[in-house]
Chain A
């Protein structure tokens, strides 16, 4: 384990971080490509903004992207199931299913109006457009939002993002959280915290006026979910038997292994698939150059994330670890999500590789600190969400690192204390953790009275 912080590995990381910003001017081809891209972007600029003729194509793409983002719930369900124990599978799936409902319904009732309150709240900290969803009085579907999408598409697409943010927490608190209080937390967090924070940038609030850039939500979606996950894990405590005090006073980590690596891998590939809509749809038009460029940076970052995680886990753990590599893919994707539209091609590779490296260290580091995260949600979404946001300031031409840092800090300062408060209120009223007996027996039996694998004996000794 000392290898984790060995000088060689740290030096390698520093080199990576330094090479990133230096690589762009050093590679002349990238410069000319970027110049050509900028020209193409300017030419195709008009396509995305032209009403009527292109509005049907614009809207169609966003609707497809909505379905792709929805598919990420299937990805989360598979991944979380695969990385936790069989005796908790029904519970995990139940939480994942319920969150989709909570996310969409609260977004329709209150979230959308909090996140996009309307132009009169531009530059502010808070705005509200009224309960429920209804298009504005002078609504014309083909010219709404300059022909980019219809009102309904905008609601549903953004609603899928809200549900995604909510489901990030479920993995981190898995295997020991009580179902009812968890659903209550999710409802409050996704109905109020997520949209209010999101309004600061995407809803035209004060962060947008400062020049903060978060293309598809490294901060506004992933880190919001990550802060919630961190709060939950801190409030709950680790799973029974995960951390043991060693003889020399150091924490011994006793791994609680996931019961299905195939499901975990399937889940990650589904999430990657969904990201084509998550980032591709965030272009918010059918602009061919913008979409295709964003998908290239996204895919390159994911691929680089594989290798960042692979090499790091190979060195640190002496063997390449599949679950780390799977987390590496997600790390790369989360990392590029903030700047997929404004960073260069090589930059995307660096961002993904660094994210993949960071996620391995984050997983190990959190375990050292006795912060038990069964699926690595905090490492992937919080740590890499922050990295991706800051990377925009490091790599993108006209973006300020300090503004990015301001956004990261502001969102963190809003989300973490709020989530902690919600969890602690629940903890001291109804309790958030199942009893010891229930946790050992498995939440499937104690919370749901049913098993996931009836008739199939899975060897359980944890």
Chain B
């Protein structure tokens, strides 16, 4: 069992979701995030003064997957989230020790999907 954490551009979320669903990955969790990565710091202006913004808007996906689904999920996110510019994001694949379904109390690979 693994946990995939991905940071993507907010406007690419619908493309990523579409790709995931096409590859039969339906369960995911989405949160707002601010992040600093490869993308250049940008500047805002406020009432005459310059402001440096180094934390940029991102969307964070968390998907718990069994062994057989890792590559599918990663490929979907790569396919849906890419634009070719700095700041497309990153995917982290973590090993997961245990997973429980709260409704039934079941645990293990069956509780994931």
Q: Does B27 lie at the interface of the complex (its beta carbon under 8 Å from any beta carbon of A)?
A: no
Give the tally of cross-chain contacts (CB within 8 A). Answer: 27
Q: Is the CB of B32 within 8 A of A449?
A: no
Q: Is the CB of B44 within 8 A of A457?
A: no
Residue-wise interface mask of A (428-462) relative to B, using a CB-CB cutoff of 8 A (1 in contact, 0 not): 00000000000010000100111100100101111
Give Cα A307 to B45, complex, Å: 45
Give Cα A457 to B34, complex, Å: 9
Q: Is the CB of A461 within 8 A of B14?
A: yes
Chain A residues with Cβ below 8 Å from B43 are: 449
Chain A residues with Cβ below 8 Å from B42 are: 445
Asked whether A450 and B34 contact (CB < 8 A) given A460-B57, A461-B14, A461-B59, the answer is no
Q: Is the CB of B45 within 8 A of A460?
A: no
Chain B residues with Cβ below 8 Å from A241 are: 14
Chain B residues with Cβ below 8 Å from A460 are: 10-11, 57
Chain A residues with Cβ below 8 Å from B13 are: 461
Q: Is the CB of B34 within 8 A of A461?
A: no
Q: Is the CB of A450 within 8 A of B14?
A: no
Q: Is the CB of B44 within 8 A of A449?
A: yes
Q: B94 to chain A: closest CB distance in Å?
A: 24
Q: Is the CB of A459 within 8 A of B32?
A: yes
Q: Does B92 lie at the interface of the complex (its beta carbon under 8 Å from any beta carbon of A)?
A: no
Q: For chain A, what secondary structure do more than half of its interface residues adopt (helix, strand, loop), or is it mixed?
A: loop
Q: A444 to chain B: closest CB distance in Å?
A: 9
Q: Is the CB of A449 within 8 A of B14?
A: no
Chain B residues with Cβ below 8 Å from A450 are: 44-46
Interface centre among A445, A459, A462 (most CB of B within 10 A): A459
Complex interface residues of chain A between 271 and 299 (CB less than 8 A to chain B): none
Give Cα A241 to B11, complex, Å: 10
Q: B11 to chain A: closest CB distance in Å?
A: 5
Q: Is the CB of A462 within 8 A of B44?
A: no
Q: Which residue of A lies closest to B46 (CB)?
A: A450
Give Cα A129 to B20, complex, Å: 67
Residue-wise interface mask of A (203-243) relative to B, using a CB-CB cutoff of 8 A (1 in contact, 0 not): 00000000000000000000000000000000000000100
Q: Is the CB of A462 within 8 A of B32?
A: no
Select which of B10, B44, B46 is within 8 A of A461 by beta carbon: B10
Q: A176 to chain B: closest CB distance in Å?
A: 14
Q: Is the CB of A451 within 8 A of B44?
A: yes
Select which of A449, A459, A462 is within 8 A of B45 by beta carbon: A449
Complex interface residues of chain A between 331 and 382 (CB less than 8 A to chain B): none
Chain A residues with Cβ below 8 Å from B14 are: 241, 461-462
Q: Is the CB of A462 within 8 A of B11?
A: yes
Q: A435 to chain B: closest CB distance in Å?
A: 13
Select which of B11, B32, B46 is within 8 A of A457 by beta carbon: B32
Give Cα A449 to B43, complex, Å: 7
Complex interface residues of chain B between 28 and 56 (CB less than 8 A to chain A): 32, 34, 42-46
Chain B residues with Cβ below 8 Å from A454 are: 46
Interface centre among A440, A445, A450, A461 (most CB of B within 10 A): A461
Give Cα A450 to B44, complex, Å: 5
Give Cα A440 to B11, complex, Å: 7
Give Cα A454 to B53, complex, Å: 11
Q: Is the CB of A461 within 8 A of B11?
A: yes
Q: Which residue of B lies closest to A457 (CB)?
A: B32
Chain B residues with Cβ below 8 Å from A459 are: 32
Give Cα A461 to B13, complex, Å: 6
Give Cα A450 to B14, complex, Å: 26
Q: B107 to chain A: closest CB distance in Å?
A: 32
Q: B35 to chain A: closest CB distance in Å?
A: 12
Give Cα A461 to B60, complex, Å: 11
Chain B residues with Cβ below 8 Å from A445 are: 42, 44
Q: Which residue of A lies closest to B57 (CB)?
A: A460
Q: B9 to chain A: closest CB distance in Å?
A: 8
Q: Which residue of B lies closest to A437 (CB)?
A: B85
Q: Which residue of A lies closest to B34 (CB)?
A: A457
8 nearest A-B residue pairs (beta carbon): A461-B13, A449-B45, A440-B11, A460-B10, A449-B44, A461-B10, A450-B44, A457-B32
Can you pick out 27 interface pairs between chain A and chain B where the beta carbons lie within 8 Å of each other?
Answer: A241-B14, A440-B11, A445-B42, A445-B44, A448-B45, A449-B43, A449-B44, A449-B45, A450-B44, A450-B45, A450-B46, A451-B44, A454-B46, A457-B32, A457-B34, A457-B57, A459-B32, A460-B10, A460-B11, A460-B57, A461-B10, A461-B11, A461-B13, A461-B14, A461-B59, A462-B11, A462-B14
Taking Cβ atoms with an 8 Å cutoff, the residues of A that contact B are 241, 440, 445, 448-451, 454, 457, 459-462
Known: A450-B46, A460-B57. 14 other contacts (CB 8 A): A241-B14, A440-B11, A445-B42, A449-B43, A449-B45, A451-B44, A454-B46, A457-B32, A457-B34, A457-B57, A460-B10, A461-B13, A461-B14, A462-B14
